[in-house]
């Protein structure tokens, strides 16, 4: 099918293309053969609804594989695995005739209270960017598109339709936009979805700086910008800003506004041409990719992949005394409603109608050869009487007291975390915490298995010998949990977000969720582990942490700068245990004496490697030069600061195995000088510096005893002068009393000389 050029359309037809025909379809232009295409929710499964279905319901969605949500899948740190899941998502999207799967979500987990954290990958932009690109590449390899979301600084659900994320330039660039930049530059998603919120007072849907200057001019985005559903504030300014497609349908209201704006001269028709052209490009890609994968869906194969992914998403937080893996003939007590009624995905627009659903209880019984008793332990019902709670707890204690090991399944009921609202705390329900105490008293050999979309406080962590963080694991999570418990799968996942000791310790505690529709990002750059490390706070479990049933040793690392300016880091890692396993090798960098504020260390690269017992593998990780850059607010651009960087090769952010220094050449940054430039800035200038140095020496000599009379002995006057504005240097000459002061004309001549273009 040939899609026409935008020049073949009328103004009204072009305007019509810039908003949806319905909840899930773009508008056709039948006169010239432009078909409608369907987009649908993701991101961890296909949520294709039949026409007439409501936005958040799943009752009318076609069955699809529910893979682990991002909170789980991200913990794999495995680019290849994430890419394969993306390929499977693309396959199902293609089979169902859908053009674009709305995902992945890569917003930063600024606060553990965000109700939508289960849809996001990490508190770190490198993890989010690398894994987000892998998902996009996997999905789009099947001839269908993705929608990178939610762009940008969408880090809470409270007041999400209008709240302003008030964030300074450095954290905005280095933390909140960096992951988006990585995905756009590395994977070119077909679409980017702008978020509901405002950024520094401007709606994302009508921000030309965000949607055109940054996204297109700086990053080279080639696709289409689509609104989150209902995110459009004012359509005509939004179109001019670079927001191409409004979803869902406005029933023609905003189409008419665009036509009227062109006719009255307030909007140039070329703006409409650009947006409509991008919609046509999307339709063209969709029609060219249509039918790339033929059905029917191999349900069994995708379920098996979902089980593999879930097993690789489970983080072994603690395993004192080698409680895990379980002996298959052990007498077990499985306790907790989640074992029988799994919480496997988050609530809201990403809810999938799964092709099947495994439970942990069934999975355990399928692998165990010994007795497996089950006790509900607690109820997730909204209202539970005290008598029922006691009876359930007593039943659980009775089962635990006669078991070799008690498996205690705890977590958050679905109502406590969802799209649309944020959590009030990070606590597990009180009845569950009371159950922990009772079960531990009956059987100290207790393993806790968690089901939660966001981190939870773990007040029992020092008393329970083993803890599995199961997150939300998708439809095959029950079987995968059994695989890990019995050791059929060796856990290899690691935390992509810090588990704090207390909510009060978290970076955004005092500024979340804000007030009067403004949220001040007062923690600045210090998000997640950056905050805890900078403040030297104790945490329950650090970023990057995760144990295995085997052990790994690291040799001394080496690092060198290659011809492109990237830093290549090599380290030999050995599996020193008696079973095969995977290790996530992490690389962090720091720069002592930096001229700008930095975290003690920042993640810059990672790799997941598989090792047989006794096997050694030399791992090479690349720290991209651009990822060493900070955002210079004076020059309004990225700058790599030169110096000796420390490269830490680590098993977690607080488990450094080897460190090496590498010298990186910095970018040349010469800022224009003005009267308000400090003496330190002037002295470091290649042209003005030598001239001013001589003048200062003359003036300082003239000051003589005058300076000595007011300053303590040994004071370095040059250090005092570093922040002195060059425009006020004349007063120093006045103090000297010898006419050596620099007058306004002399200063202006000096500034003009310094700022003049230099000859090569």
| Cα-Cα-Cα-Cα dihedral sign, residues 234, 239, 245, 249 | positive
Which residues, other chains included, contact 565 with Cβ-Cβ below 8 Å and sequence gap of 6+?
A: 625, 640, 664, 665
Task: State the SS3 of 515-565.
Answer: ECCEEECCCCCCCCHHHHHHCCCCEEECCCCCECCCCEEECCCEEEECCCC
CA distance 121 to 497: 9
Q: How many residues does the chain have?
A: 760
Residue with tokens 């709305």: 102
Joined tokens for residue 526: 């210090």
Let me know if 590 is exposed, middle or buried by CB neighbors in 10 A (0-12, 13-18, 19+): middle
- Of 159, 228, 566, 627, the active-site residue reads 228
CB atoms within 10 A of CB 83: 19
228 as an active site residue: the answer is yes
Largest Cα span, the chain: 98
**Among 36, 221, 73, 220, which Cα is nearest to 146's?**
221
CA distance 752 to 729: 17
CA distances from 237 to 201, 211, 223 (A): 15, 12, 19
Let me know if 50 is exposed, middle or buried by CB neighbors in 10 A (0-12, 13-18, 19+): exposed
Which residues, other chains included, contact 439 with Cβ-Cβ below 8 Å and sequence gap of 6+?
A: 335, 377, 396, 397, 400, 406, 408, 446
DSSP 381-425: SS---HHHHHHHHHHHHHHHHT-SEEEEEEE--GGGSBTTB--S-
Joined tokens for residue 691: 């001239």
Beta bridge partners of 575: 552
For the CA atoms of 689, 693, 694, 700, what is the dihedral angle to 10 degrees? 160
Q: Which sequence positions are flagged as catalytic?
A: 228
């Amino acid at each position: 099918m040939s899609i026409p050029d935008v020049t073949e359309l009328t103004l009204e037809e072009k305007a019509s293309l810039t908003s949806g025909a319905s909840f899930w379809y773009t508008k056709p232009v039948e006169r010239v053969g432009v078909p409608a295409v369907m987009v649908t929710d993701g991101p961890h499964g296909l949520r294709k609804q039949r026409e007439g279905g409501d936005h958040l319901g799943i009752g009318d969605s076609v069955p699809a594989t529910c893979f682990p949500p991002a909170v789980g899948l991200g913990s794999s740190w495995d680019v290849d695995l994430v890419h394969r899941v993306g390929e499977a998502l693309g396959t199902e999207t293609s089979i169902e005739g859908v053009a674009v799967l709305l995902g992945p979500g890569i917003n930063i987990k600024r606060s553990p209270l965000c109700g939508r954290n289960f849809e996001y990958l990490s508190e770190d932009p490198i993890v989010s960017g690398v894994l987000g690109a892998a998902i996009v590449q996997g999905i789009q390899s099947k001839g269908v598109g993705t929608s990178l979301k939610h762009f940008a600084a969408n880090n809470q659900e409270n007041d999400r339709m209008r709240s302003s994320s008030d964030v300074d330039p450095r954290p905005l660039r280095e933390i909140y936009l960096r992951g988006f930049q990585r995905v756009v530059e590395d994977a070119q998603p077909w679409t980017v979805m702008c978020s509901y919120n405002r950024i520094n007072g401007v709606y994302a849907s009508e921000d030309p700086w965000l949607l055109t200057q940054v996204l297109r001019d700086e990053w080279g985005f080639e696709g289409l910008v689509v609104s989150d559903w209902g995110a459009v504030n004012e359509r005509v300014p939004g179109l001019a800003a670079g927001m191409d497609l409004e979803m869902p349908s406005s029933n023609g209201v905003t189409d008419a506004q665009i036509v009227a704006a062109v006719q009255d001269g307030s909007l140039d028709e070329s703006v409409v041409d650009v947006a409509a052209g991008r919609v046509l490009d999307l339709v063209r890609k969709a029609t060219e990719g249509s039918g790339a994968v033929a059905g029917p869906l191999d349900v069994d194969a995708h379920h098996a992949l979902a089980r593999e992914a879930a097993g690789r998403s489970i983080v072994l937080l603690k395993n004192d005394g080698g409680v895990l893996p379980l002996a298959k003939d052990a007498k077990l007590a499985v306790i907790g409603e989640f074992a029988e009624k799994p919480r496997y995905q988050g609530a809201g627009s990403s809810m999938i109608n799964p092709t099947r659903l495994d439970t942990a209880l069934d999975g355990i019984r399928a692998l165990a050869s010994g007795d497996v008793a089950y006790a509900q332990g607690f109820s997730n019902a909204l209202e539970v009487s005290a008598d029922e709670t006691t009876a359930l707890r007593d039943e659980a204690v009775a089962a635990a007291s006669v078991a070799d090991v008690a498996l205690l399944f705890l977590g958050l009921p679905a109502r406590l975390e969802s799209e649309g609202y944020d959590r009030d705390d990070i606590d597990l329900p009180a009845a569950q915490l009371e159950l922990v105490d009772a079960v531990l008293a009956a059987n100290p050999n207790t393993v806790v298995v968690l089901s939660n979309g966001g981190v939870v406080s773990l007040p029992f962590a020092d008393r329970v010998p083993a803890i599995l963080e199961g997150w939300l694991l998708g439809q095959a999570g029950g079987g995968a949990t059994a695989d890990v418990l019995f050791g059929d799968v060796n856990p290899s996942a690691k935390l992509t977000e810090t588990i704090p000791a207390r909510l009060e310790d978290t970076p955004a505690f005092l500024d979340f969720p804000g007030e009067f529709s403004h949220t001040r990002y007062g923690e600045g750059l210090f998000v997640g582990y950056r905050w805890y490390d900078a403040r030297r706070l104790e945490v329950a479990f650090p970023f990057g942490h995760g144990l295995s049933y085997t052990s790994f040793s690291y040799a001394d690392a080496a690092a060198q700068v290659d011809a492109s300016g990237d830093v290549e880091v090599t380290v030999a890692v050995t599996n020193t245990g008696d079973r095969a396993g995977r290790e996530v090798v992490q690389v962090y960098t720091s720069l002592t004496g930096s001229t700008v504020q930095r975290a003690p260390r920042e993640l810059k690269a990672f790799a997941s490697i598989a090792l047989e017992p006794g096997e050694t593998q030399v791992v090479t990780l690349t720290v991209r030069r651009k990822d060493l850059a900070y955002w210079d607010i004076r020059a309004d651009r990225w700058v790599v600061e030169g110096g000796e960087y420390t490269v830490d090769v680590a098993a977690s952010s607080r488990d450094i195995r080897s460190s090496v220094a590498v010298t990186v050449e910095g970018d040349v940054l010469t800022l224009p000088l003005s009267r308000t430039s400090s003496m330190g800035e002037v002295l470091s200038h290649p042209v003005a510096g030598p001239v001013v140095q001589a003048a200062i020496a003359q003036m300082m000599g003239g000051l003589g005893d005058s300076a000595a009379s007011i300053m303590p002995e040994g004071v370095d006057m040059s250090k005092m002068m570093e922040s002195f504005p060059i425009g006020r240097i004349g007063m120093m000459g006045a103090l000297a009393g010898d006419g050596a002061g620099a007058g306004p004309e002399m200063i202006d001549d000096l500034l003009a000389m310094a700022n003049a273009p230099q000859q090569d």
